[in-house]
Structure 1
């Protein structure tokens, strides 16, 4: 089997990667993996580190290849694994595997991304302390450092983006700094991949849900229940069983904006230079 995966959506987490993955699955030009996050190129790194979230990564090349229709003539065979974003080893591994690969990087305001990531983890039952206790390093319970890294360290985008630019160069990377407007994001990525724009869904696939019922909150922590919920509950009904999405408090937003300010300037410099 001579063909290789040549399209990688690498992150960042909570920046629209699921939406983009599902969108590209609809196109005739892209053969996207049957599993969204195979984490093949980060398998050993995830296995070695005991994380608070459960992963089902694939460590076998044969199993990885079977996620794709590599024997069929698609312009792109692609996957999306957000763990690839923060591990510098992964950029080198992907380049060694396929130096011609295209890399898609989705970003957003790092303060809002951090809070969105926190809300997801709280909703899934991974954490029950306050967001400010994490960013102020007041929380010292289990996985305290990992929570800080997931929410804050991940938001220092420039170091991770630079790693991929150093490996692949500007012509093989499409980095979107603000994915707030997903329609515009899709247009930019379609132009980069030279594929026609399909019908663009109106809502995000991985939209945050804040349940009113404690029972629903508890049930939603199960991966199996989440899949069932998404399969049987129409989007129009979600608003009836959920509360208004929690917003990042103004003072915390300002604090995080100051925290990320220098890195945002560095990210702009990297992208403008390239």
Structure 2
């Protein structure tokens, strides 16, 4: 492994608990998660002409665009710390991202988090509604997905297609020596145990103390879009806070504001069940790959 590059990658999937896991790891003395946690450097090289959906320009602006800038994200890590990042588009674009990871980084440890694909799809939809980017109904948005993909929208708009996990998961398992797959539903049941498993996987026996469960990246409908825009967009005040407040403190503040400013999106049963059965073949394939019972995803 190259000393100035990450030792591990949380590669996805989006809306599967990766933010919470990254925050847990970042509180551990042996871990260093870069800021921004999702630099998207490895995918920017082939996505730089994309990002054409509403609000995608902000994502493109924040993406790290050079190897030197990418390396600089890890310079503050202490010599004994394991360095990581969490660009969750790496899983979705596995066919192009894997060769780049191997070429630039080598053989880092890989963490994949997977969730019931139907629920993941609605969570991604709710995320974009919260940010004022999605203005269609859930069913309309799903029907528009293929068109939006052709128009090179950011991957987060691929509500359905980002839920086909078997090919991408197998590709990472086939190409890297150490890959850990985490099922989101198990993570939610016992976050502390899963975090301990991840720490052991990454190579430290030091376990977290005073463990407090985290729930990050709340999705839903914003009560105030103005407040949400202030929270998300860069500003002079946010720049000052970044300099004086630790990452975890800023994450807690952001979470509390989002929690107060977000309300659930209410949908009808037929909307919630719109994708029921769509993923069954892929789930069956993934069960075989992981030798894990995923029947809970079919309910």
TM-score > 0.5, shorter chain as reference? yes
Once the two structures are TM-superposed, the CA of residue 143 in structure 1 deviates from its matched residue by: 7.6
CA gap of 1:234–1:187, structure 2 versus 1, over 3 A, is closer
More deviation, 96-105/150-159: 96-105
2:221 equivalent in structure 1:
210
Query: Does 2:140 correspond to 1:121?
Result: no
CA gap of 1:183–1:8, structure 2 versus 1, over 3 A, is same
CA RMSD of aligned residues (A): 3.2
1:251 equivalent in structure 2:
270
2:233 equivalent in structure 1:
224
SS for the counterpart of 1:84 is helix
Once the two structures are TM-superposed, the CA of residue 187 in structure 1 deviates from its matched residue by: 3.0
In 2, Cα distance between equivalents of 1:141 and 1:256: 18
In 2, Cα distance between equivalents of 1:168 and 1:81: 17
Once the two structures are TM-superposed, the CA of residue 101 in structure 1 deviates from its matched residue by: 0.7
Q: Given that residues 108 and 180 in structure 1 are in contact (C-alpha distance below 8 angstroms), is that contact kept between their aligned partners in structure 2?
A: no
In 2, Cα distance between equivalents of 1:204 and 1:138: 28
1:161 equivalent in structure 2:
169
Q: Given that residues 8 and 79 in structure 1 are in contact (C-alpha distance below 8 angstroms), is that contact kept between their aligned partners in structure 2?
A: yes
Q: Given that residues 165 and 173 in structure 1 are in contact (C-alpha distance below 8 angstroms), is that contact kept between their aligned partners in structure 2?
A: yes
Of 189, 194, 198, the match for 1:189: 198
Of 119, 122, 147, the match for 1:112: 119
Once the two structures are TM-superposed, the CA of residue 141 in structure 1 deviates from its matched residue by: 7.8
Could you tell me the TM-score, scaled by structure 1's length?
Answer: 0.83
Once the two structures are TM-superposed, the CA of residue 249 in structure 1 deviates from its matched residue by: 4.0
1:226-257 CA deviation, whole Å, 9 max, x = no partner?
9799775783x7666543x2356433343323
Q: Given that residues 217 and 255 in structure 2 are in contact (C-alpha distance below 8 angstroms), is that contact kept between their aligned partners in structure 1?
A: no
2:86 equivalent in structure 1:
80
SS for the counterpart of 2:233 is helix
| Runs of 5+ consecutive residues of structure 2 not aligned to the other structure | 242-249, 293-299
Could you tell me the TM-score, scaled by structure 2's length?
Answer: 0.77
| Runs of 5+ consecutive residues of structure 1 not aligned to the other structure | none
In 1, Cα distance between equivalents of 2:149 and 2:202: 42
Q: How many aligned residue pairs are there?
A: 266
In 1, Cα distance between equivalents of 2:49 and 2:29: 37
2:101 equivalent in structure 1:
94
Write out the 4+ residue segments of structure 1 that deviate beyond 6 Å after TM superposition.
Answer: 138-145, 225-231
